[in-house]
Amino acid sequence: MKFVIQRDQLISSVQDVMKAISAKAAVPILTGMKIDAKVNGITLTGSDSDISIESYIPTEEDGIVHVEQIEEGSIVVQARYFPDIIRKLPEKTVEIEADSSLNVTIRSGKAKFNLNGQDADEYPKLPKLQTDDSFELQSDLLKSLIKQTGFAVSTMETRPILTGVNVKVEDDTLHFTATDSHRLAARNVPVNDVSGQFSNIVVPGKSLNELYKILDDKGEKVEISVTSNQILFRTKHLHFLSRLLDGNYPETSRLIPEKSQTKLHVKTKELIDTIDRASLLARDERNNVVKLTTKDHQVLQITSNSPEVGQAAEEVSVQAMEGEDLKISFSSRYMLDALKAIEDDEVIIEFTGAMRPFIIKPANGDPILQLILPVRTY
C-alpha cells in the first residue's frame, strides 16, 4: 500500500475517526486505526464496538487533488502515535507506505517515521446496514436537536435506558426526548419521505455527543438509517454507526402538565445571568438550589442561601405574568442547562404549583420543551 495525501485533509479525517477509538478496547486491534487505500480514495476507520466511524477522502473533488500515487492496500496503524505524527509533520503533503511485513513508513519533507502496523484482515468487519428505514435531515438541524436534548440524559448506569435519547418518527414528525428522571428535554421537527417506521429507538447520549462534534454546520445532508440494534448517520464523506440501547423507554408524555397556575414571560439572557450569579453561593449544596419568588406580578426575586457561606438576592423584571404568585426552589444547574439549550431571546415558563414539574418553552413557539422537577426545601 502506498499513497501521497494532503496533510490537512488527513488530519481532519484522523480527528473524526479518533472519536471512536479507545485505548482500552476489549479487542486489541481496535486500539488501532484502519487505513484502506483504493484508486478512488482513502478510507480511515475507527471503532470501539459501541461506535464505529469511517471517514472517506476522495482522490479528487471539485477539481482539487487530495490523494495521488495510490497503490492499493490496507493496514492498521497505532492510533496512540499516528495522529500526533501526522499533526507535527513539516510539509503540506505526506507519503504513507506499508510493505508486506506490515512496516509503515511515513515521510514528509525531511522527516521520516517507521511504525509497526497490524494486518488489516484481522480488523473486525463493520456491519453493512441493509434497511428500508431511513430519512434525511440537514446536519445543522440534527446538531441543534442533539444540543437541545442530549444534555438531559442520565449519567447514572442504574437505569441504562435513560443514558440515551429516545428517537421516534410519528405522523411525519421526528421526536427527540431525553430525561434523567429529574428533568426532561424534548424537541420535534417535521420530516419528509420517511421510509419504514422508526418506532421507539434509544441512541446512547455518548454516541450523539461524538456525532455532534463531527458534523459540520453547513447544512449538508445526513441520511439516517436504522436496523433492530444499530443506527447509521451517513454524509457524503462520513459513516457514523452506533449501537442502540436495549429496553423500553419510559412514557414521558404524561409527565408534562396540561395546564398551568402561573405563567411567566421573561428575557432569557437576563434570567440566565441572574441564576448564574445566585448559584455562586449555592455551589457546595448538593443540588445547587436557588429559589424563585414572584412579586406583584412585575418582578421575580432569585435568591440562594448557604448557611456557611452567605446569601444572594437579585430581582429580574418580567415581560408579562399571568396567574397566582409563586415560590419555588430548583437546581440552578438544571435551569441553566435548559435555558441555554432553548436559543431564543425570550422564554415562557409555566408552573403548576411549588412541588409540581414546571416547563420552559421558547417564546417564539418553536417545538422545544424543557421540564424540571422542583427541589423540596424545608
What is the structure's pLDDT at 130?
65
| 204 shares a domain with 93 | no
Residue 208 clears pLDDT 60, i.e. is over it: yes
| 339 shares a domain with 321 | yes
Q: What gap in Å lies between CA 318 and CA 86, rounded to an integer?
A: 54
What is the structure's pLDDT at 360?
97
Average pLDDT over residues 312-336: 93
Tell me, yes or no, whether 127 lies in a domain: no
Q: What gap in Å lies between CA 207 and CA 201, rounded to an integer?
A: 14
Give 249's DSSP letter.
Answer: P
| 97 shares a domain with 140 | no
Q: What gap in Å lies between CA 217 and CA 142, rounded to an integer?
A: 10
Are residues 144 and 217 in contact, defined by beta-carbon separation less than 8 angstroms?
no
Tell me, yes or no, whether 330 lies in a domain: yes
Average pLDDT over residues 138-156: 94
| 309 shares a domain with 247 | no
Q: Which residue has the higher pLDDT, 33 or 229?
A: 33
Tell me, yes or no, whether 318 lies in a domain: yes
Tell which of 91, 122, 153 closes a domain: 122
Average pLDDT over residues 43-55: 93
| 110 shares a domain with 96 | yes
What is the structure's pLDDT at 195?
65
Residue 287 clears pLDDT 80, i.e. is over it: no
Q: What gap in Å lies between CA 248 and CA 244, rounded to an integer?
A: 11
Tell me, yes or no, whether 130 lies in a domain: no
Tell which of 197, 232, 253 closes a domain: 253
Quote the cell numbers at residue 45.
476507520
Residue 157 clears pLDDT 80, i.e. is over it: yes
| 187 shares a domain with 163 | yes
Print the domain residue range for 192: 136-253
Average pLDDT over residues 47-55: 92
| 177 shares a domain with 158 | yes
Tell which of 253, 287, 305 closes a domain: 253
Tell me, yes or no, whether 108 lies in a domain: yes
Determine the Cα angle at 254 with ends 248 and 257, to 5°: 150
| 32 shares a domain with 101 | yes
| 320 shares a domain with 240 | no
What pTM does this model have? Answer: 0.90
What is the structure's pLDDT at 5?
96
DSSP 298-367: TEEEEEEEETTTEEEEEEEE-SEEEE---EEEEEHHHHHHHHHHH--SEEEEEES-TTS-EEEEETT--S
Place of cell 494486518: 119
Determine the Cα angle at 40 with ends 35 and 45, to 5°: 25
> 285: part of which helix (H) or strand (E)?
none
Quote the cell numbers at residue 279.
448559584
The rounded Cα 310 to chain-centroid distance in angstroms is 37
Tell me, yes or no, whether 274 lies in a domain: yes
What's the domain count of the chain? 3
Residue 189 clears pLDDT 80, i.e. is over it: yes
Q: What is the CATH number of the domain that holds 345?
A: 3.70.10.10
The secondary structure of 69-129, three-state, reads EEECEEEEEECCCHHHHHHCCCCCEEEEEECCCCEEEEEECCEEEEEECECHHHCCCCCCC
Q: What gap in Å lies between CA 52 and CA 243, rounded to an integer?
A: 9
Give me the half-sphere count of Cα atoms (radius 13 Å) on the Cβ side of residue 86. Answer: 23
Average pLDDT over residues 334-363: 94
| 280 shares a domain with 307 | yes
| 262 shares a domain with 247 | no
Residue 378 clears pLDDT 60, i.e. is over it: no
Q: What is the CATH number of the domain that holds 106?
A: 3.10.150.10
Determine the Cα angle at 151 with ends 311 and 45, to 5°: 145
Q: What gap in Å lies between CA 85 and CA 23, rounded to an integer?
A: 17
Tell me, yes or no, whether 378 lies in a domain: no
Tell me, yes or no, whether 377 lies in a domain: no
| 150 shares a domain with 247 | yes
